[in-house]
Amino acid sequence: MLYNVVLLVIIERITNKGNYIMSKAIESYEKLGLYISNGTFTFDISNSPTLKSFEKVIGENAILVAKCVPNTEEYFALSYNKDGTLSKKQREYLDPNDEDYDGKKIDYIGENSYWTDEDNEWLYFLVYDVNIMKIGMTITSPKTRYESYSCGTGRAMKKGSCSTTNFIVSECNSFALDDGCEVKVYGIPLPKKTVVDNSWGETDIISVSIARGMEKKLTNIFTKTYGYKPVLCVQEGK
């Protein structure tokens, strides 16, 4: 019966930990209420396994590739023309004073060149403080994948122009930042593979993707070890 009515959310997060704007995101997509409800996460972050503990399980260390930050001028400077004048084209910043703000609340800052690396496919961990929230994959760079996550705004959700996963991950990351968590992205590079194909009378070397299969393998190991998937594994990556 809960999902037969329109969910109305009152903005209630103005605390000494910072401002968080729920805007009308839950009105846009009620499934978010499975993760954030009554001004708090529905799960305990500290109950999720740490990245360090899982690294010991798989015998490999992940690389810190980026940190999540608020989409504000503090982290993303205004743009200027070559003559020093302010550019007419500027990024839209999060307005913490607008309780109805439904645009991009967060973005990501790369820690090193791995953030933009497209020579490999990638597995990644989304980590709050030290705890794993999500395992995912991308056949492009981590930066490209997280740019897609950043498109998951309330505004886009209302228009039906973003995926469920992108919306939920973006809202949860924003909420976590406001709650005082560090939100980080770690990656494991997957060297690209090729196969030799001899069909149709010609021999070619063809690139093949292993990222999806490796994501499934890594998630299965996590699930066998801890008894459940990471909390924000809404669906397997594409």
Q: Could you tell me the two tokens for 212?
A: 């999806």
Do residues 124 and 137 touch, judged by C-beta distance below 8 A?
yes
- What per-residue confidence (pLDDT) applies to 28? 54
Count of domains forming the chain:
1
Do residues 142 and 65 touch, judged by C-beta distance below 8 A?
yes
Average pLDDT score over residue span 3-23: 38
- Report if residue 238 sits inside a domain: no
Q: For the residues of 141-191, what is the DSSP string, one character each?
A: -HHHHHHHHHT--HHHHHHT-S-HHHHHHHHHHHHHHHTT--EEEEEEEEE
Residue 149's domain spans which residues?
A: 2-74+90-226
Q: Residue 228: CB partners within 8 Å, gap ≥ 6?
A: none
- Enter the pTM of the model: 0.82
- Report if residue 106 sits inside a domain: yes
Tell me which residue of 161, 148, 179, 201 sits closest to 35, measured CA to CA: 179
Torsion of CA 147, 149, 151, 156, to 10 degrees: 170
pLDDT at 1 over 80: no
- What per-residue confidence (pLDDT) applies to 161? 65
Q: Could you tell me the two tokens for 99?
A: 């309780």
What's the chain's average pLDDT? 86
- Report if residue 231 sits inside a domain: no
pLDDT digits (tens, 9 = 90+) for 110-151: 999 999 999 999 999 999 999 999 999 999 999 999 998 888
Average pLDDT score over residue span 54-70: 98
Q: How many helices (H) does the chain have, and how many strands (E)? A: 6, 11
- Report if residue 138 sits inside a domain: yes
Dihedral of CA 205/207/213/214: which sign? Answer: positive
- Report if residue 233 sits inside a domain: no
Q: At 47, which CATH number?
A: 3.40.1440.50
- Report if residue 80 sits inside a domain: no
Q: Residue 123: CB partners within 8 Å, gap ≥ 6?
A: 135, 136, 137, 187, 188, 190, 211, 214, 215, 218
Identify residue 207 by its one-letter amino acid code: S
